[in-house]
Amino acid sequence: MKHKRHFRKILTRKFPELYDSILQDTENRYWQISKDTNFSKKSTNPLDKRLDLMAYFLATILTLREKRFDFQTIKSVCMEIALEFVRPKNGLQKWLKKLPPKLIDTQLSHLFLKRMHKKISRKGHEDGFRAELITDKKETYGLGYGIDILECGICKLFSKYKAREYTPILCEVDKITSNLAGLELIRKGTIANGADKCDFRFKKK
């Protein structure tokens, strides 16, 4: 799990005196939680692949909650970890993150999106995601790309561990990744906040 280094970097900086204890408790919780996300490694739905990372976020959240840190502190830690995880580390990575929106109108992209829609519209596992790609330009501010999450694997996982109230924190990460791609995220609601679906729509900046 290469992403662990990002957690360790932030946790070390935020909690230098408690770091060893937090890390050990997080690891123990993760190995328990990961039993519920093992299916993601072989799932036919590519959206499920992110659930292993979400299991580590959940383990971190549960550890900090047990140590009596308040919601805002936990949110701050999660957002710093997420930013460290997604930020480009060099010029090439920065360029690559801005590339997909520029390719939306190509024939290759249309074929890719059609194939992707077929995969994500079917659940690979009962605890995973189900979604639909939206390619009608009238429904996507002229971009030709949007996505509706109809079933959220993250919400299911967090609910199972009675941590549903923390799920909206991870929804905010979508704004960061959209911005890095040169897009403005427009979203009316999320499942985590009680909506029927998460509607991702984007505008080019």
Could you read off the pLDDT tens digit of each residue along the chain, which spans 205 residues? Answer: 678 999 999 999 999 999 999 999 999 999 999 999 999 999 999 999 999 999 999 999 999 999 999 999 999 999 999 999 898 989 999 999 998 888 888 999 999 999 999 999 999 999 999 999 999 999 999 999 999 999 999 999 999 999 999 999 999 999 999 999 999 999 999 999 999 999 999 998 8
Nearest 10 degrees: CA dihedral of 162, 29, 10, 50?
Answer: -70
pTM: 0.93
Residues in the chain: 205
- Rounded CA-CA distance 3/81 in Å is 10
